[in-house]
Amino acid sequence: MTASLRVAVLAGGYGGAKLSHGLALIEQRDPPLDLSVVVNTADDLQVHGLCVSPDLDTVMYTLAGLANPDTGWGLRDETWSAAEMLERYGVETWFRLGDRDLATNLLRTDRLRRGDRLTAVTDGLARALGIRARLLPMTDDRVATKVRTDDGWLDFQEYFVHRRHEDTVHELRYEGIAAARPTEEVLDALESADLLLLAPSNPFLSIGPILALPGVVETIVSARARVVAISPIVAGKAVRGPADRIFTSLGGRASAAGVATHYVERYPDLLDALVIDEVDYGDAPAIEALGLRVFPAATVMRSEPDRERLATEILESLGRRG
């Protein structure tokens, strides 16, 4: 790997956290790797009066080595005394916050109400947990993903958590996106990167809100980074979550080629390459016909060694433009 490689990742909570962790493991042994992770905040919400940032916290806990490996969200060895007491009071707890997770959200809420930027709050939390990478909210402004189903428009977490993302999605919108702006820190990470990775996160629910921020796509296209997406669809199925069903319900194809088509049609000139799972190599000709380089790899990250291996292969094969 070339020294002083600057890598920026656009990420949601699950696949984005895993890939970012693989890069961070490399960073620990090879400090010249400079890592920034830009995280979706369009699924942020208020819970029991607290400001909760689910994707940010999933990435943060994963980078800190504190994430629950079984659920993909929250903290390992978590306790639930506060949630149990809230239930005794008759409060709905379908969006559950563990006891230690409450501490994160209490501190975030307090600092935000004192007037601090979400970016500054996130940096303080990440540094306290020993995270070396720059963990960046996509914006300090309020953006909210809304999902149109057979029952009408739903708040994202109502659809995703409360209703277990079982509804068919007919349309998406990002409320507040037109007035929101990427932060200076985000723009700096995008402009200075040698390699920009679109993590194997949901292209509609996680990556989409980041790219929809005014100026983000233009900044990426005009910057010097090689831009590479990692497909979250393997053998026609989402590794996790509803991405495959959303591709189908919105008129696309739940396949590696469908991922490529989605990005190329919505964001012309954005991508240089697509990393696909080895089982999807039959899609390579269709992807190459769209003008993208194809890089097959074992993309399902079941363990920490898997994360580091995938990150290493991407850096060594696609790390610089040329």
Residue ranges per structural domain of the chain: 6-163+171-318
Q: What is the pLDDT of residue 3?
A: 56
Given 3-state DSSP classes, what are the helix, strand and coil percentages for the chain, each rounded to the nearest 5? Answer: 45, 20, 40
Provide the 8-state DSSP code for 182.
B
Query: Do residues 198 and 263 lie in contact, with contact meaning Cβ atoms separated by under 8 Å?
Result: yes
Most distant pair of Cα atoms in the chain: their distance: 61
Print burial letters for 186-204: b (CB count within 10 Å at least 16), e (below 16): bbbbbeebbbbbbbbbbbb
From residue 153, give the alpha-carbon distance in Å to each of 2, 71, 170: 48, 27, 10
- Which pLDDT value is given to residue 1? 46
Q: What is the pLDDT of residue 322?
A: 44
Q: Which amino acid is at 135?
A: L
pLDDT for res 32: 78
Strands (E), 138-187: 144-149, 152-155, 171-175
Q: What is the pTM of this model?
A: 0.95
Query: For 250-295, where are the alpha helices, taking DSSP H only?
Result: 256-266, 284-289
Specify the DSSP element, H or E, that contains 34.
strand 34-39
Closest Cα partner for 47 from 168, 155, 140?
155
CATH architecture label of 6-163+171-318 = 3-Layer(aba) Sandwich (3.40)
pLDDT tens, position by position, 222-273 = 998 999 999 999 999 999 999 999 999 999 999 999 999 999 999 999 999 9
Listed as ranges, residues in the chain with pLDDT below 50 are: 1-2, 321-322
Give me the pLDDT at residue 317, please: 87
User: How many other CB atoms are there within 10 angstroms of residue 222's CB atom?
Assistant: 9
In angstroms, the CA 319 to CA 322 distance is: 9
Query: What pLDDT was estimated at residue 27?
Result: 79
Rounded Cα distance, 219 and 185, in Å: 13
Element at 72 (helix H, strand E): none
DSSP per-residue string spanning 238-250: ESSSSHHHHHHHT
